[in-house]
Amino acid sequence: MQYPNGINKSYKRTTPIANRGMTLESELNDTNTYYLVNDIAVIYKKPTPITVNKVDFKARNDAVIKEAHFIVPSTTDYNGIYKGKYIDFEAKETKKDNLPLSNIHAHQIEHLKRIHKHGGIGFIIVRFTMRGLTFTLSIDKLLDFIENESRKSIPLSYFEKEGFLVKQGYRPSIDYLKFVDTLI
């Protein structure tokens, strides 16, 4: 099928029109809600860790935090259960054609290694925002790269070769459990 000049290019994006501009985080939240209400899986994003310094107790049940700081998380952002399996992952967006390894904390990688060792399924989900492409990469393949390559970023080509392309759709918007199904 032919489109007028320029239009076919935008159709190469895997992002449906409805999802354009949505962040990976909001799509994951929608997807996790879809999984929950359809009784497919129970997966949540963890709250952002903070340390609270000052709290005002204006009234009973109405405490207002007046000073707090964000702290570096010890674990990944998402975990839960699917088909009896423990699921654990971190989600990242990158505007480049690579994922700088500095975007993933060393203790998050350590955490995913532990999860894998204890029989869980650990991975990362990476969105290449300029291309509208989203890949999962298992902790195994992530460690393979870190241990064998000296580069400080993982190129898109590595995701294309070793990752799993997650198609974006309407419901759910980002069906990453299709990737988990290939592992169990």
DSSP bridge partners of 121: 87
101 and 83 in contact (C-beta within 8 Å)?
A: no
Angle at 50 between CA 44 and CA 52, to 5 degrees: 135
Q: Which is nearer to a copy of itself, 154 or 177 (CB)?
A: 177
Contact flags string 79-98 toward a copy of itself, x per CB under 8 A: xxxxxxxx-x----------
Burial call 37-55: b when 16+ CB within 10 Å, e when fewer: eeebbebeeeeeeeeeeee
User: If binding is defined by CB under 8 A, does position 34 make contact with a copy of itself?
Assistant: no
User: If binding is defined by CB under 8 A, does position 58 make contact with a copy of itself?
Assistant: no
Of 8-16, 19-27, 42-50, 176-184, which part binds a copy of itself (CB under 8 A)? 42-50
The footprint of a copy of itself (CB under 8 A) covers: 36, 39, 41-42, 44, 46-50, 63-70, 73-75, 79-86, 88, 111, 114-115, 117-120
